[in-house]
Amino acid sequence: MKTPKVISLQLTADSQNRLLAYTTAAGLGAFFVGQNAQAQVVASQALAPYPANLAKGAGAGYYHTYNYLDIDGDGTADFNLNVDTFRVNMDKASAAQTNLVLNPSTNGYIIPWTNNAVLDASSGSAPTYRKWLSTCVFYGGSWLYFWNNFPTNEALGFSFTASDGLTHFGYMMVQVNHTPGSDNDFSATVSGIYYNATPNAPITIGDLPPPTVAVTNITVGAGNVVTIDFTSSDNAPASAFTLETSAVLGASANWTTDTGVVITSSGPGIYQAVTTGTGGTSQYFRIKH
């Protein structure tokens, strides 16, 4: 049997069918084409891996409460999420920046956005008083008041100047943790940060980038056993994937579900599909998510 041939290149995403990886295998050889889904909404790696649990003592700064966020990964921090035991606040990382925390309506503090709300230059407003998500105040020997605008996983909107020098809109999913009846025990959990890679374009709260599926290896073994190794950025269960096959490509392709495939996962985001090829001149596979 000939040594399998491997070719890797980029394809245009099929957004309608969400075909996130495209694989071709033949009985006498094999090659694959890795396809990464293209999208305007991008998942930031600022605090990855998520969820990121933040508390005083684990951050930067004198009190170890600063958590700097480089939203677009250009090496410059865009925001500072300050998580102290008595207050959680967020602001631009330096005074020279024009980056803003944005509210869906006028408010003195930071308040969350609702799902499906559209954040753009006309809809967002900056806090008018303090850029606090939550706070409690101890004065004169007693705690005077306590409030938390993010008691569950909520969307915090923002705009920032990206590495292209232009304004981009985004949001962060964050929860401020507090034990009822306790004082001075704030912490925060960030489950994800997202932004629109298109300058000045709106972002819909709740919009997420499509998962990226990439084939990492494909082999054809004895008895035409085809083994496809692939990854997915969303760590979905193996049951979320199907394998489809066709004898030809293009307009005449007839994609059918491969009912004999066994898809397993060996860890978060790591998968393997094993099936038996026809052994013909060519056979095409694609992984659907």
Is 205:156 a contact under the CB 8 Å cutoff? no
Hey, is 278 helix, strand or coil?
A: coil
Task: Give the model's pLDDT for residue 166.
Answer: 96
Which of 66, 81, 70 lies closest to 190, judged by CA? Answer: 81
Asked whether 67 and 60 are in contact (CB, 8 A), the reply is: yes
Please tell me the pTM assigned to this model: 0.70
Predicted pLDDT of residue 144:
73
Q: What was the pLDDT predicted at 5?
A: 32
Query: Which class for 151: exposed (0-12), middle (13-18), buried (19 or more C-beta within 10 A)?
Result: middle
- Give the torsion sign (CA, 27, 31, 37, 43): positive
Euclidean distance between CA atoms 90 and 74, whole angstroms: 20
Q: β-strand 262-267 against 270-276: which pairing, if any?
A: antiparallel
> What gap in Å lies between CA 154 and CA 262, rounded to an integer?
38
Q: What is the pLDDT of residue 266?
A: 93
Which pLDDT score is estimated for 151? 96
**Residues linked to residue 161 through DSSP beta bridges, in sequence order:** 167
For residue 161, the model assigns a pLDDT of: 97
Per-residue pLDDT in tens (0 to 9) along the chain, 289 residues: 333 333 222 222 332 233 333 344 333 333 333 333 334 899 999 998 899 999 999 999 999 999 999 999 999 999 999 999 999 999 999 999 999 999 999 999 999 999 999 999 999 999 999 999 999 887 777 777 789 999 999 999 999 999 999 999 999 999 999 987 788 899 999 999 999 999 999 999 998 888 888 888 888 889 889 999 998 887 788 999 999 998 888 888 899 999 999 999 998 889 999 999 888 778 888 898 8
pLDDT on residue 22: 38
Task: Report the distance separating Cα 188 and Cα 177, nearest Å.
Answer: 6
The CB-side HSE value for 143 (13 A sphere, CA atoms) comes to 12
Q: Is the peptide bond before 210 cis (omega within 30 degrees of 0)?
A: no
Per-residue pLDDT at 141:
75
The predicted structure's pLDDT at residue 279: 81
Query: What pLDDT sits at residue 29?
Result: 35
Quote the pLDDT of residue 252.
87
For CA atoms 220, 222, 224, 226, the dihedral sign is negative
Q: Map out the domains of the chain with their CATH numbers.
A: 21-38+211-288 (2.60.40), 41-204 (no CATH)
Handedness of CA 274, 225, 37, 158 (dihedral sign): positive
The pair phi, psi for residue 218, each rounded to 5°, is -145, 135
